Amino acid sequence: MENCNIHWEQRSLVNELAQGRELARQLQIHLNAPSSPHGTRELLVQKIILSYEKALSILNSIGSPSGCEQQQPTGHVAIRMVESPPHSLNGSPWSEDSDREFKDHDNKDSSGKRKTLPRWTQQIRVTSGMGLEGPLDDGFSWRKYGQKDILGARYPRGYYRCTHRNVQDCFATKQVQRSNEDPSIFEITYRGRHTCTQASPGTSTPPSPSPLPPERTEPQNNPVESQQNQQHSQQNMLLNLPEGLRVISEGLDISEELFPSFNNPSPLNNNYLGSFSPPFAGPTTSGTNYFSMSQQGFGAEQNIQSGDIISPATSAANSPSVGLDFPFGQDDQLFPNFSFDGPGFFS
């Protein structure tokens, strides 16, 4: 591995700054508009702060020579997105066991079967910062549908799917796996994206990406359960973040096969969101904590071709409300233009 492209960190930096600028503009608009929904301004402010934090983190990581990988910025939250081809998970500080089950599907590459959904993993470290894993939540409603002991893993893996799967065609699922060594680390793998509109009925609060798990792997050890996955107001989402968080996006295959009806970019799909960002919501905590995070990585120039995983551009365009983030772009051109069109941003 070579140096982790500074390039793209640079790009990320630019991206962040541009985003921050955009957000600031939005804020300006909202400030002038008397009728702006409550909370919107605050949310914007937080996002702006977040952008700055990210930018700073990126700068920090660039600054340090060794910093390809971990470089978790000082005790803050680091989101790491890595496109990981099935087997080559580059060394990650935390999960040594990384490979344990990555083989999973196919990846036979060429044969390109179905089954491959966009899939990305977040590693979340929950430590002293917050109560414990309890309140991890991402604003989506998940229903647990299984739990399995995984070969080499000390803790069982939990399988969750979107609560609305039946009513809407939301095939999003996630798996939560507690790290072998560090019980404080949870590896959450998301597959598919939410198509459900689970926002509160009247309020068009867009679901925000980046689901977090309600994990519970060991009843015994962790009394702390959290089954709090009900709908949340996404606005709080940005408020709390676990101490360390890392995102690895991997396997970018978008199988539209699975989403027959969603293939085309029709207004229908507005709700697609699949990107993730900082939204961790503490159900309990409604306080105002800021967190900082750095996101880096996502170096994958190769396959994003279809770039569907998170098509920020399109989704942003289509759904005004989801503006939360577009952490990464596909490769080269992501941010050439991102234009939020004014008013609608998040209603």
Partner DNA sequence: CTAATTTGACCGGC
Partner DNA sequence: GCCGGTCAAATTAG
- Residues numbered 227-246 forming contacts with DNA, rule: CB under 7 A: 227, 229
Q: Which two tokens stand for residue 292?
A: 């900082």
CA nearest 318: which of 273, 253, 279?
Answer: 273
Q: Is 263 left (phi over 0), alpha (psi -120 to 50) or beta?
A: alpha
* The binder of DNA chosen from 75, 91, 112, 152 (CB under 7 A): 152
* Contact between residue 276 and residue 190 where contact means Cβ atoms under 8 Å apart: yes
Give the binding range for DNA (CB under 7 A) out of 59-67, 135-143, 275-283, 335-343: 135-143
Residue 216 near DNA by CB under 7 A: yes
**Residue 175 binds DNA, judged by CB under 7 A:** yes
Q: Interface with DNA includes 109 (CB under 7 A)?
A: no
Tokens representing 275?
Answer: 């990107």
Strand 77-81 and strand 173-178: pairing? unpaired
- C-alpha torsion 191→43→27→293, nearest 10: -60
Shortest gap between Cβ of 203 and DNA (angstroms)? 19
Piece of 67-75, 97-105, 257-265, 327-335 that binds DNA (CB under 7 A): 97-105
What contacts 29, CB < 8 A, 6 or more positions away? 36, 342, 343
Instruction: Give 217-259 as a DSSP string.
Output: S-TTT--------S---GGGGGS---SEEEEEEE-----GGG-
> 244 - beta bridge partners?
125
Q: Tell me if 159 contacts DNA by CB under 7 A.
A: yes
263 binds DNA (CB under 7 A): no
State which of residues 42, 106, 256, 301 lies at the interface with DNA (CB under 7 A): 106
Tokens of 161: 């799917």
Which of 37, 85, 88, 143: binder of DNA (CB under 7 A)? 143
Hey, what are 59's tokens?
């700068």
Interface region with DNA, contact rule CB under 7 A, candidates 19-27, 48-56, 144-152, 238-246: 144-152
Does 121 contact DNA by CB under 7 A? no
Of 17, 150, 258, 317, the one binding DNA by CB under 7 A: 150
| Chain mean position to CA 80 | 10
Query: Minimum distance from CB of 162 to DNA (Å)?
Result: 10
- Rule CB under 7 A: say whether 105 interacts with DNA: yes
From residue 295, give the alpha-carbon distance in Å to each of 193, 229, 284, 302, 337.
20, 26, 26, 19, 20
Shorter beta-carbon distance to DNA: residue 228 or 289: 228
CB of 288 to DNA, least distance (A): 27
Distance of CA 61 to CAs 146, 163, 189, 342, Å? 39, 38, 25, 33
Residue number with CB closer to DNA (141 or 292): 141
Q: Which is nearer to DNA, 102 or 326 (CB)?
A: 102
The stretch near DNA (CB under 7 A) out of 14-22, 124-132, 140-148, 258-266 is 140-148
Residue 142 interacting with DNA (CB under 7 A) = yes
How many residues bind to DNA according to rule CB under 7 A?
A: 31
CA distances for 225 relative to 71, 146, 262, angstroms: 31, 16, 35
Question: Pick from 173, 236, 269, 330: which binds DNA (CB under 7 A)?
Answer: 173
Could you list the residues that contact DNA (CB under 7 A)?
100-101, 104-106, 108, 141-152, 157, 159, 161, 163, 173, 175, 191, 214, 216, 219, 225, 227, 229
